[in-house]
Amino acid sequence: MKHPLQPFLVLALLLSLLRPASGTAAATATNPILWADVPDIAMIRVGDVYYMSSTTMHLSPGLPIMKSKDLVNWELVSYAYDILDDVDALNLANGRSTYGKGSWASSLRHHNGTFYATTFSQTTGQTYVYTTRDIEHGPWQAASFRPMLHDHSLFFDDEGRVYMLYGAGNLRLVELNQDVSGLKPGGINQVVVTNAHAVASANPGLPAEGSQLVKAHGKYYLFNICWPRGGMRTVLVHRADKLTGPWEGRVALQDKGVAQGSIIQTPTGEWWAYLFRDSGAVGRVPYLVPVTWEDGWPVLGVDGQVPDTLNLPPSKGLIPGIVASDEFERQPGDRPLPLVWQWNHNPDPSLWSLTARPGWLRLATGRLAKDLEAARNTLTQRTIGPECSGRTAVDVSQLQEGDFAGLVLFARNYGIVGVKADGGTNYVVMVSAETHPPVEKERVPLSATVVHLRADCDFKKGADRARFYYSLDGRSWQAIGVPLKMTYTLAHFMGYRFGLFQFATKTPGGHADFDFFRIRDSIPGAD
């Protein structure tokens, strides 16, 4: 069933041949550095290589690790964990879920040859510590302890002591055991900055949080985010000669709502701040901001503003480093799934396969689900801006009555183009969850066993608009349903993701086979 050189792929190939050679490419990078949902960034440099971790909440595997040589072009190289924990909320079991929770902001460190990636979870009330000697290939060792240290920053001091600084509003420093296995009995445990947001606002909508702690020029620098009421996300910085203080602070940046992160130095001595910005339905996207130093303080931006262009190498695009197509063909030694894929919550390994029908992804059902959000084994990857398009072909010949399979733009207010088995007939349907409960907007009887499905996303200038299509041959496309107004919500707390799904509402045991998933960074022309 595979047709690798479908028309839009041919067009992409021709466009790539027409692009200027590297010697004639633009000399600058542009913000956002990654027009994709990569929030709560933590970053380190080891030699001339940068590593970055981020938040992926209720997705598995989680705590992604990305790699770059130039701060602009990133690729996924690892995850710190396959599953965060084995509990009902993460397994979508017994009516429970953990949308918008899971694991949040991580901290990333390299100390004495060991890499540390740490995070915390409201779902379990724990702090998690992952360690490896090889950040790109693993294996990772996992440990956890209580309490949950919110938005913590792991820090190894010069004297060999280990700390986490965490909290919201009042920021607390706690000392850890030498092996980072938990709080050190009798160690430092005290608030070191009270009402840290006060340097920006006495009335914050969001108090200071998102701590990231660094040492530079002999001083300690603590970066936080706050959100004054009626204002915008704001970067705060405090400095001190000792971790226990006293700390003095100021506003470090207040422009475009770009905030939360820290600073990093290049091998040549330049300094940059890595931050993110809310960007509507695509999610929270990373920005880079130049940093200079004045009177021992880091000064972020150019005249207090976030520049659109940067004196860094240009981006080569987000495909295939951050998102990628997949023909579901595997050679011996290949990963079962490329790193761009993450499951919605913990997967059930017994109900998906790439070997039951080689060259196809099989999603099977083993239980009933009332709707998509309760369905297990939805396979997802990010959408990207300023626009993108994803498509698949699915064999629906083995659907059971009441089954639903297809392609989703997944967030709380999702949109679907898929196939429902209803009353002995299969139908191509478009479902909109702009409001809840979701509404089926159109259905078309389907006699074919294989149907092509497509979803287009327009994030330009905040449009946040999606359209859905189906085709019987992968060439002639028919729009179905209505445009979807995509909206970012705190219920899922992440940008829209492409997803492949199959779930049963009446009888478990059916399956759907997906031939491929293909993504491009533009919307196909009218067909």
Q: Do 174 and 110 have their domain in common?
A: yes
Dump strand ranges (E) for 14-122.
Answer: 29-30, 42-46, 49-53, 59-60, 62-68, 75-81, 107-111, 114-121
Residue 49 dihedral angles phi and psi, to the nearest 5°: -115, 135
Asked whether residue 35 is assigned to any structural domain, the reply reads no
Question: How confident is residue 266, by pLDDT bands cut at 50, 70 and 90?
Answer: very high
Question: Which residues lie below 8 Å from residue 466, measured CB to CB, with a gap of 6+?
Answer: 409, 415, 455, 456, 457, 458, 483, 484, 486, 496
Asked whether residue 337 is assigned to any structural domain, the reply reads no
Asked whether residue 5 is assigned to any structural domain, the reply reads no
Question: pLDDT tens digits for 294-353?
Answer: 999 999 999 999 999 999 999 999 999 999 999 999 999 999 999 999 999 999 999 999
Which domain range does residue 487 map to?
Answer: 342-520
Which CATH number do you get for residue 89?
Answer: 2.115.10.20
Asked whether residue 290 is assigned to any structural domain, the reply reads yes
Domains: count for the chain:
2
Q: Do 301 and 350 have their domain in common?
A: no
Question: pLDDT tens digits for 173-229?
Answer: 999 999 999 999 999 999 999 999 999 988 889 999 999 999 999 999 999 999 999
Asked whether residue 239 is assigned to any structural domain, the reply reads yes
- The per-residue pLDDT for 476 is 97
Q: Do 292 and 362 have their domain in common?
A: no
How does DSSP classify residue 369?
A: -
Q: Do 59 and 117 have their domain in common?
A: yes
Q: Do 274 and 377 have their domain in common?
A: no
Q: Do 347 and 298 have their domain in common?
A: no
Residue 158 scores a pLDDT above 70: yes
Asked whether residue 91 is assigned to any structural domain, the reply reads yes
Task: In whole angstroms, give the CA distance from residue 160 to residue 12.
Answer: 53
Residue 511 scores a pLDDT above 70: yes
- Mind giving me the DSSP string for 482-501? --EE----TTT-S--EEEEE
Question: How confident is residue 20, by pLDDT bands cut at 50, 70 and 90?
Answer: very low
Q: Do 260 and 407 have their domain in common?
A: no
Q: Please identify, among 310, 330, 361, the residue that sits at the C-terminal boundary of a domain.
A: 310
Q: Do 392 and 499 have their domain in common?
A: yes
